[in-house]
Chain A
Amino acid sequence: MQASSQIPHDVNYLDYKGKYKGLLSWILSTDHKRIALLYMFSMMTLFMVGVCLGLAMKLELIAPGKTIMGPQDYNAVFTVHGVIMIFMIVIPGLPAVFGNFLLPIMIGAKDVAFPKLNLFSWYVYIAGAVLVISSVLFGDGTPDTGWTFYAPYSFKTGTNMLPAIFGAFVLGFSSILTGLNFIVTIHRLRAPGMTWRKLPLFPWTLYGTAWIQLLATPVVGITLLLVSLERLFGIGVFDPALGGDPVLYQHLFWIYSHPAVYIMILPAMGAISEIIPTFSQKHVFGYNAIVVSTLAIAFVGYFVWGHHMFTAGMSGTAQYTFSILTFLVAIPSAIKVFNWISTMYKGSISLETPFYWAVSFIFVFMIGGLSGLVLGALATDVYVHDTAFVVAHFHFIVFGGVGFSFFAAIHYWFPKMFGRMYDKTWANVGWIFFFIGFLALYTPMFYLGLQGMPRRYYDYLEQFHSANILSTLGSWVMTFGLVITVINLFRSAKIGEIAPANPWNGKTLEWTVPSPPPVENFDVIPVYEEQDGPYEY
């Protein structure tokens, strides 16, 4: 890093001429804000690929029988859709983009603790993404296991699994490094006087997330490495023919992949916890409760993996233990919802686009959460296991949770990131199409699942036809809303009207610096006094 005295403070990070010019000034920059945008643009590109694959699946399901692709292609499409969406978008999404951009500013630091490591994490992320994509383009066929890479099929199938599995491993490595960086940043670089109880809520959730990234990811790392070794050399660990146990694979896989759900949802909740107070112009209700519930979710999230395996053959004791523990996660999640609603109560609410996204987040998140109880309860889970109901549930939670909060966050912090306002009318139009399309796309799947339509099937019986048509139409409406939103944001980043430093009257530190922020964020490091709080209205 250069000495800060050499960096002029009146130049913002987008215009700053460093050592390099053009593209190099981005891909060699250690500025956390530029790295955040690198993540954002790479994720947007991958997200578009994932969306197209999702649209292809819905199109296939518009009518019974083969519509546009056969069973093998369908398997390949849902596998790549899942791998891209889970490992490349929703797991890293909010921490890598908004965490990178805002964490240092919100805690009053000039950068993250390890700026070079931060850039390296992005390279690792790109390497992982390239590996996964290469499995599609080269070799003996696109992976067809689903994103979970279940053994023994993942090492028996003739398709090109190795780069996909290893790519997921590499993406996990990037996730670990980002988490590590954030933990050290929060511990070491908070502004003087910013005690833990004055830390804004988004950094708090990033802190909880970072610990999950750190403590859960290595387990999936070793599991994926072992599957790779199984495939390459046949070491026998997961191969029943050699004495291994495929159910052990499922345990190890979900020991990571269930906490990964909280890697996705915690920062989403954090972003919502920033947005609701700002647009209610009110002190956040129950700051301590939100913090404690964040840590409780992070903690309990480790002990619930078994609910993915109720039908895989576990002892009765294990089954109901996991069932009870799964129910426990609902408590801190509900606490957060109550806090958000209470923050809005008697607030001076301004109906801006981020607020619409945030409120619709709460709506879809609650539907997702309540359907989660159906799956967490043993008896009902056995009934709807591996049906479209499950698909509906995790899309409400994962896509509804992360997607809605991502768009809430981007509309909230867009003026800060790019120094310009977006067109509010088009932003609202994009949101309403997205919201309606989303509900039309996933709600019928609850019905389909209860009626008995299995997931991952490219074909179905005539009786499921009408709900599937609605679902497919929904996917088009939602994509239309998505396209409007993205075009609006891209156009506004170029030609929108100039944004003030604090367009929403926010109270956290990022609104005290100019929009867009200067290269090293703060001229003078802010100091918190005894009476200051994180949100003072």
Chain B
Amino acid sequence: MSQAIHHDEHYDAEGSKIGMWLFIFTELLLFGGLFIIYSVYRYMNPDAFHLAAEELNRTVGSINTIILLISSMTIAMSTSALQKGQKGTTILLLEITFMLGLIFLVNKYFEWGVKFDHGIFPGSQHMLDTLSQGEILFFGLYFAMTGLHAIHIIVGMIVIGFALAGVSKGKVHADRSALLENAGLYWHLVDLIWIFLFPLFYLIH
């Protein structure tokens, strides 16, 4: 019986989740490469990395960390709500998650904007003239890693958008929740990567 459903509709929730976990492994390895580079250069230039980290705005970083943690909570709650059949609540929680992602990006935009105003961006003359090689590397990695993370936030928001559309059209419901659960898994990954980026760039002395 279960096999008949399986083959007629080609729906395999377990399979979809395995697929998502495998994809998450690849994303972790992608950032893993960056973390290796970061640790190598931090080891080679400890003082410069310390000096450069002082330039970053910890308040904005902390706010963004809190935003992402809350958004992870809301998307997890939306999955529970879907399983209880509360469609309206699910949609609301997904919308909140989406908005939190957007707020994160707005904060990031202002944070980067201030840096640009101070002449701190890859390839700037100001950096070449005044900063040491280690500090240049720090900012190069800072922009590359947080930039790549921001792209993942955008991808995560698109995935949440699909889940949102699925829930409102009734295609995603308690018995067919793999899409929403996978969106949740991906969003947690994005959150998790930030949890590593934040101390590496903002907090370590």
Interface residues of A (CB under 8 A from B): 1, 3-5, 110-111, 113-115, 117, 176, 180-181, 183-184, 187-189, 192, 214-215, 217-219, 221-223, 225-226, 229, 233-237, 242-245, 248, 252, 525
Pair A111/B10 contact, Cβ less than 8 Å? yes
> Of the candidates A115, A180, A242, which one forms a contact with B133 in the assembled complex, judged by CB atoms under 8 Å apart?
A242
B7 contacts A222, C-beta separation under 8 Å: no
- For the complex formed, measure the closest distance between the CB of B78 and the CB atoms of chain A, giving whole angstroms: 24
Q: How many A-B residue pairs have CB under 8 A?
A: 113
Which residue of B is nearest A244, CB measured? B137
* Cβ 8 A contact of B18, one of A5, A184, A217, A218: A184
Kindly report which residue of chain B lies nearest to residue A217, judged by CB atoms. B26
B18 with A187: CB separation less than 8 A: yes
Return B88 CB to nearest CB of chain A, in Å. 29
Chain B 4-31 near chain A by CB (<8 Å), digits 1 or 0: 0001111010111011001101110111
Q: Given the complex of chains A and B, what is the CA–CA distance between A3 and B4 in angstroms?
A: 10
Which residues in B have their C-beta under 8 angstroms from that of A111? 10
**A188-B12, A214-B25, A243-B137 are known contacts; what are 11 more A-B pairs with Cβ within 8 Å?**
A4-B7, A110-B7, A115-B10, A176-B26, A183-B18, A222-B34, A234-B123, A234-B140, A235-B144, A242-B133, A243-B45
Chain A residue with minimal CB distance to B23? A180
Chain B residue at minimal CB-CB distance from A114:
B19
A3 is contacted by which of B9, B121, B134, B148 (Cβ under 8 Å)? B9
CA distance A5 to B5 in the complex (A): 12
Is residue B40 within 8 Å, beta carbon to beta carbon, of the partner chain?
Answer: yes
* Assembly CA distance A128 to B188 (angstroms): 29
Q: Which residues of B contact A114 (CB under 8 A)?
A: 15-16, 19
Contact B26 A236 (CB under 8 A): no
- Contact in complex: B29, A188 (CB < 8 Å): no
Q: Which residues of B contact A184 (CB under 8 A)?
A: 15, 18-19, 22
Q: How many residues of B contact A (CB 8 A)?
A: 40
B interface vs A, CB < 8 Å? 3, 7-10, 12, 14-16, 18-19, 22-23, 25-27, 29-34, 36-37, 40-41, 45, 121-123, 132-134, 136-137, 140-141, 143-144, 148
- The docked-state distance in angstroms from the alpha carbon of A281 to that of B122 is 64
Pair A5/B8 contact, Cβ less than 8 Å = yes
Q: What chain B residues lie within 8 Å of A248 (beta carbons)?
A: 37, 40
A-B contacts, 22 listed (Cβ < 8 Å): A111-B10, A114-B19, A115-B10, A117-B19, A188-B15, A192-B3, A214-B22, A214-B26, A218-B27, A222-B33, A222-B34, A226-B34, A233-B121, A233-B122, A234-B122, A234-B123, A234-B140, A235-B143, A236-B122, A236-B133, A242-B136, A243-B134
Closest chain A residue to B31, Cβ basis: A222
Give the docked Cα–Cα distance between A111 and B10 (Å).
9
> B residues within 8 A CB of A525?
3, 7
How many angstroms from the CA of A3 to the CA of B148 in the assembled complex? 40
CA distance in complex: A117, B40 (Å)? 37
